[in-house]
Amino acid sequence: MSRLLVLLAVFMAIGSAFALYSIKYDTRQLEQRVNASQRAAEKAALDIAVLKSERAYLGRPERIEQLAREQGLVPIGEHQYARAAAAPPTPPRQPKR
Amino acid sequence: MAMSTAQTAQPRRWLVPQDVTGSCGTNRTEGRRLLVLCAALGLVFAAIGAQVVRLAIGGGETVRLSAAQPVGQNYARADILDRRGNLIATDIDAPSLFADPALVNDLDEVIDKLVALFPDLKAQDLRQALGDRTRRFAWIRRGLTPIEERRVHELGLPGLAFRREPRRAYPAGALSGHFVGLVNVDNKGLSGIERYIDEKGASELVAGPVRPRAAPVRLSIDLGAQHAVARELKDAMSRYQANAASALVMDVDSGELLAMVSLPDADPNQPGLALAPERLDKLTGGVFELGSIFKILTVALAMDDLSASPERFYDASQPLRFGRHTINDLHPLHRPLTVREILVRSSNVGSAMIALEAGRDRQRAFLDRLGLLDHIQTEAGRIAPPLVPPRWEEIETATIAYGHGLAVSPLQFATAVASLVNGGIRIRPTLLRQETQPVGEARVVSKRTSAYVRELLRAVVVDPHGTGKRADVPGYDVGGKTGTAEIPTRGGYQGDAVVSSFLAITPASAPRYLVLVSLFEPKGVSETQGKITAGLNAAPTAGRIVARVAPLLGLLPRDVTTAPHAQDHSSAGVPRSSAQ
């Protein structure tokens, strides 16, 4: 009886050791993956910051104004405002062919 | 143990029990000892096991080494946005070049090649930095562009390496204006809003490229309006051949600054140039005698402290004499003038008469109430304090009435007038977007006075004799006041060097925005018939700024409801002015 118990205990000890170490290695791998994705996220955040500043640079009002003027656009003038009610009635929608 | 066994009666049996269960049954003391021993051993093994498990799971304390820790720390800073969320300043990840002198093989080659690549590096400084082989770290250049990084990399020199760190970038360039301020080589704020960010704790020390955790700072500035003002001001500067110019747009109720332009401008991307003295921010960094636009305050004093109506007469028929000094009008009428006429025709003598009636103490108290004698500040730092005359006697009282003798910064003056026209509630200038309407502080003048001031400012623009006629913009009801102030020099005033200003409010009946334009030393050109008075240069500039900025800020022209020609243009399909 007691021998059986001892044998069982030995097997349990070995088994739990295996379980423990496999969990440990899994955890390490997970940690590495978490770190890698964190680094990727940080890198992406930095890249986004650069892209945002480039977009702001391209969209700076000086450049937009120049482009708009080349298209024949000008700053809005007081005669360009109108009440919606004063606009001509919308033409009836063409039926789809 | 051996000693104790020798002293006990049954030494051998205690150590080697023949029958454990039997002995437990027969000898209770022995059985108890055995149990205690087993329990103690069990505890020890359990403790060892637990420790093994703990080490296996957590691992021991890891020793971390970071050679770069003490050097090359940098500040990660919160972004700066305009009121609509456009980016004004941000951190971007940039490489910085450093050397490890111990690894440098050929010092001369390294120095030659680096100087060839960066001509502004000094060979002598490099030799000093790299010559000391006991050092392991020396910065060569911070904040390289990607192209520079590639070129250095292609040199293939041992001992050179890069560190990545956050660097400040200002995509809007010179448009971000003076108020944004500057950062130093460690990305730490030195002045302006950048310094405010550090004071507020929206920056942190980091090693390496990291995005800031702090939320972005949202300014009251509207970049679109800022650009429109800058553009009109540049145009005015060349049109009237001025040396410098400044303009601001302020919300009269909240004190928010929507645009602040001072020319020549300063690009924060080139901090070396930004600090040149001629690029000083005229709006906050300098004080000026602003001339006749001060008369706004003087008529307000008459109506508030002296309970005068706009129709009360003052004797402006004769020039005023103080000893050697005489106060004259530019276009004297030789008759008494009403308060309205004093402002509309910009009478120096009339303004002086008002101030003399009120007296020095009441004048001073009034200016103090408006905050014109205080040291004030915005989030971007202190504003140059007003230059109050050391002696404030009768003659100073008279000259301050028309804007000479008390020098203030344009921003401080604009704040005072905004408080006058917004219904009489004192406001503070701010560069941060206000999410809620601030609860008004102290009342500075009565509502009645405020309404009178607005009415008179409108009169200056619409009256046939008004000096501000050229500032009018159809539909926007501009009110305002001109001011042409001679610039004091060592030998008194020079007639041909002036600061020409126009203060405008729109719409005059219920103002939303205040615009203050100043042109520094404009010349007489053919468009102004050779004159340098504000009515001919600053007033039309202010009008153009209002016409362009008001629609951007969502202010609709009054006539939209009645515009009879609205339909003509909608059918024409092409805006009228596109032909220009």
For residue range B167-216, what is the model confidence (pLDDT) as tens digits?
A: 888 998 888 878 998 898 888 898 899 999 999 988 888 877 788 888 99
Among chain B residues, the shortest Cα distance to A28 is held by: B57
Q: Which of B263-272, B332-341, B560-569 has the highest mean pLDDT?
A: B332-341
Q: Which of B92, B165, B168, B221 to mutate to test the interface with A (most CBs of A within 10 A)?
A: B92
Q: What is the pTM of this model?
A: 0.80
Residue of A61, A77, A88 with shortest CB distance to B571? A88
pLDDT of residue B203: 87
Is some CB atom of chain B closer than 8 A to the CB atom of A78? yes
pLDDT of residue B570: 38
Q: Are B371 and B426 in contact (CB under 8 A)?
A: yes
- The overall average pLDDT reported for chain B is 85
Look at residue A94 and tell me whether its pLDDT is greater than 80: no
* B571/A56 Cβ within 8 A: no
Weakest-pLDDT range from A47-61, B18-32, B149-163, B191-205: B18-32
Q: Which of A69, A78, A83, A90 to mutate to test the interface with B (most CBs of B within 10 A)?
A: A78
How crowded is residue B114: how many other Cβ atoms within 10 Å of its Cβ? 21
- Enumerate the residues of chain A whose CB falls inside 8 A of the CB of residue B223: 60-61
User: How is residue B60 written in tokens?
Assistant: 């021991």
Look at residue B17 and tell me whether its pLDDT is greater than 80: no
Could you tell me which residue, B578 or B501, shows the higher pLDDT? Answer: B501
In angstroms, the CA B365 to CA B202 distance is: 39
Look at residue A50 and tell me whether its pLDDT is greater than 80: yes
Instruction: State the nearest Cα–Cα gap between A57 and chain B, in angstroms.
Output: 4
Q: What are phi and psi of B106, to 5 degrees?
A: -110, 100
Determine the average pLDDT of the residues in B537-545.
Answer: 94
In angstroms, the CA B560 to CA B554 distance is: 13
* A56/B474 Cβ within 8 A: no
Is some CB atom of chain B closer than 8 A to the CB atom of A74? yes
- Give me the percent of chain B exceeding a pLDDT of 90: 47
Is some CB atom of chain B closer than 8 A to the CB atom of A85? no
pLDDT of residue B297: 95
Weakest-pLDDT range from A7-16, B69-78, B144-153, B424-433: B69-78
Residue of B90, B556, B577 with shortest CB distance to A49? B90
**Where do we find the tokens 């002696």?**
B391
pLDDT of residue B487: 87
Position B22 confidence tier, pLDDT thresholds 50, 70, 90 = very low
* B570/A87 Cβ within 8 A: yes
Weakest-pLDDT range from B67-76, B90-99, B324-333, B350-359: B67-76
Q: Are B306 and B357 in contact (CB under 8 A)?
A: yes
Residue of B57, B175, B210 with shortest CB distance to A61? B175
Q: Are B484 and B533 in contact (CB under 8 A)?
A: yes
Q: Are B359 and B397 in contact (CB under 8 A)?
A: yes
Could you tell me which residue, A95 or B53, shows the higher pLDDT? Answer: B53
> Dihedral (C-alpha) A34, A39, A43, A44: value to the nearest 10 degrees?
0
Catalytic residue status for B292: yes
User: How is residue B218 written in tokens?
Assistant: 């949202």
pLDDT of residue B259: 95
- Enumerate the residues of chain A whose CB falls inside 8 A of the CB of residue B222: none
Instruction: State the nearest Cα–Cα gap between A90 and chain B, in angstroms.
Output: 12
Residue of B173, B224, B575 with shortest CB distance to A80? B575
Look at residue A93 and tell me whether its pLDDT is greater than 80: no
Position B527 confidence tier, pLDDT thresholds 50, 70, 90 = confident
User: Which amino acid belongs to residue B272?
Assistant: G
Dihedral sign of CA atoms A53, A58, A64, A68 in order: negative
Where does residue B45 fall: left (phi above 0), alpha (psi -120 to 50 degrees), or beta otherwise? alpha
pLDDT of residue A64: 92
Look at residue B560 and tell me whether its pLDDT is greater than 50: yes
Look at residue B7 and tell me whether its pLDDT is greater than 90: no
Residue of A59, A79, A83 with shortest CB distance to B565? A79
* A56/B86 Cβ within 8 A: yes
Look at residue B27 and tell me whether its pLDDT is greater than 60: yes
In angstroms, the CA B542 to CA B525 distance is: 18
- Enumerate the residues of chain B whose CB falls inside 8 A of the CB of residue A49: 90-93, 211
In angstroms, the CA B262 to CA B280 distance is: 8
Among chain B residues, the shortest Cα distance to A50 is held by: B92
Determine the average pLDDT of the residues in B326-349.
Answer: 89
ipTM topping 0.95: no
Cis peptide preceding B507, ω within 30 of 0: yes
Instruction: State the nearest Cα–Cα gap between A97 and chain B, in angstroms.
Output: 28
For residue range B475-521, what is the model confidence (pLDDT) as tens digits?
A: 899 999 999 998 887 777 777 889 999 999 999 999 999 999 999 99
Q: Which of A53, A70, A90 to mutate to test the interface with B (most CBs of B within 10 A)?
A: A53
CB pairs A-B closer than 8 Å? 112
For residue range B81-137, what is the model confidence (pLDDT) as tens digits?
A: 999 999 999 988 888 888 888 888 888 888 888 888 888 888 888 888 888 888 888
* B476/A53 Cβ within 8 A: no
CA B435 remoteness from chain centre? 18
- Give me the percent of chain B exceeding a pLDDT of 70: 88
* Active-site residue, from B176, B254, B292, B419: B292
- Enumerate the residues of chain B whose CB falls inside 8 A of the CB of residue A82: 560, 563, 566-567, 569-570
Q: Are B260 and B226 in contact (CB under 8 A)?
A: yes
Q: At what angle do helices B360-369 and B348-358 cross, to 10 degrees?
A: 100
Q: Which of B45, B80, B87 to mutate to test the interface with A (most CBs of A within 10 A)?
A: B87
**Where do we find the tokens 């804007």?**
B403
User: How is residue A62 written in tokens?
Assistant: 């000086």
Select from B362, B355, B224 the least CA-distant residue to B298.
B355
pLDDT of residue B61: 62
For residue range B212-270, what is the model confidence (pLDDT) as tens digits?
A: 888 999 999 999 999 999 999 999 999 999 999 999 999 999 999 999 999 898 888 88
pLDDT of residue B59: 63
Q: Is B523 exposed, middle or buried (0-12, 13-18, 19+ CB in 10 A)?
A: middle
pLDDT of residue B82: 92
User: Which amino acid belongs to residue B559?
Assistant: D
For residue range B284-316, what is the model confidence (pLDDT) as tens digits?
A: 988 999 999 999 999 999 999 888 888 899 988
Question: C-alpha angle A18/A20/A24, rounded to 5°?
Answer: 115
* A78/B56 Cβ within 8 A: no
Q: Are A75 and A68 in contact (CB under 8 A)?
A: no
Position B65 confidence tier, pLDDT thresholds 50, 70, 90 = low
Look at residue B413 and tell me whether its pLDDT is greater than 80: yes
Position B51 confidence tier, pLDDT thresholds 50, 70, 90 = confident
